[in-house]
Chain A
Amino acid sequence: MPILASNHNRRVHLKQLTSLAGLLAAAGYSELSHAAYNQAAFETKSVNEAIKFQGGSVISESKDILITAPDYAENGAAVALGVSTSLPGVRKILLLIEKNPSSLSASFQVSEWVEANFSTRAKMSQTSEVYAVAVMSDGRALYTKKEVKVTLGGCGG
């Protein structure tokens, strides 16, 4: 019964395709189509609001989020900051500087191909708490913070 067999195969393929699409959607791929710059998140002064604009609904502190930041920054124009976590289900990684004119500095939307581990350099206008945040696929936002003392600010004239 070759016809029946091929029908069966097709059904199996369809099933696999459907579950693959589901996986991709769960991984946040559905957002790719409307990945417009999140102006609101980058304009607010508030750390909480910025996290919410980036999709984090329930915000809590977590030891599983690691932050790399110096205790003192002699030059606020370029402070090396890093975020990492080994938790599964990370959708976005955020870096926020509480006392900057706008708190959110950078946001990374990850895929299955990269670790939730990003480092960059940011300007700090003054001594401030720095927040490392992981927005999870279930909407939780987990953070760790660290104070960085700035001797010379990086935002003023």
Chain B
Amino acid sequence: MTEATKIRAQALGNKTTVRILMSHEMESGQRKDAAGKIIPSWFIQELTATLNGRFMFSAEFGPSVSKNPYLQFVIKGGKAGDKLSFSWRDNKGATRTDEATVT
């Protein structure tokens, strides 16, 4: 089962800096197990972020993004109480959506 994405969003002056930490193995597909067999890739492919229900940005990841992907970005403006939502989908079709509020 998937674990919650950690989200920190703090409004400061005329911008809001957001840091998120998704929980995912992000297996590259390059590694081999003890028996020498390649461990199949398993990674988040797509992430969609909304601000108060509106499209904010989307991201596509390759398997080279690190385990438990970290992301930092900046919202123009933004204020305490604004609602953020992050939805990801991995290459096995698993999905997860987490929400947070700007502080």
- The chain A residues found within 8 Å of chain B, CB to CB, are 29, 32, 35, 37-38, 41-42, 77-79, 82, 97, 100-102, 104-115, 117-125, 154-157
Contacts and interface: CB of A to CB of B under 8 A. Distances in A.
Contact of B73 (A79, A97, A118): A118
B59 A108 contact: yes
Contact of B65 (A32, A114, A122): A122
A120 B30 contact: no
Contacts of A120: 65-66, 69-72
A75 B13 CA distance: 35
A114 B73 contact: yes
Interface stretch (B1-9, B50-58, B95-103): B50-58
Contacts of A119: 70-73
Given A107-B60, A120-B66, 18 more contacts: A32-B55, A42-B62, A77-B66, A100-B64, A101-B30, A106-B59, A106-B62, A106-B65, A109-B58, A113-B54, A114-B73, A114-B74, A114-B75, A118-B59, A118-B71, A120-B71, A122-B65, A156-B30
Interface size, B (range): 20 to 34
A155 B28 contact: yes
Nearest to A41: B60
B23 interface: no
Contacts of A115: 15, 73-76
A37 B46 CA distance: 7
Contacts of B32: 157
Nearest to A36: B46
Contacts of A110: 57
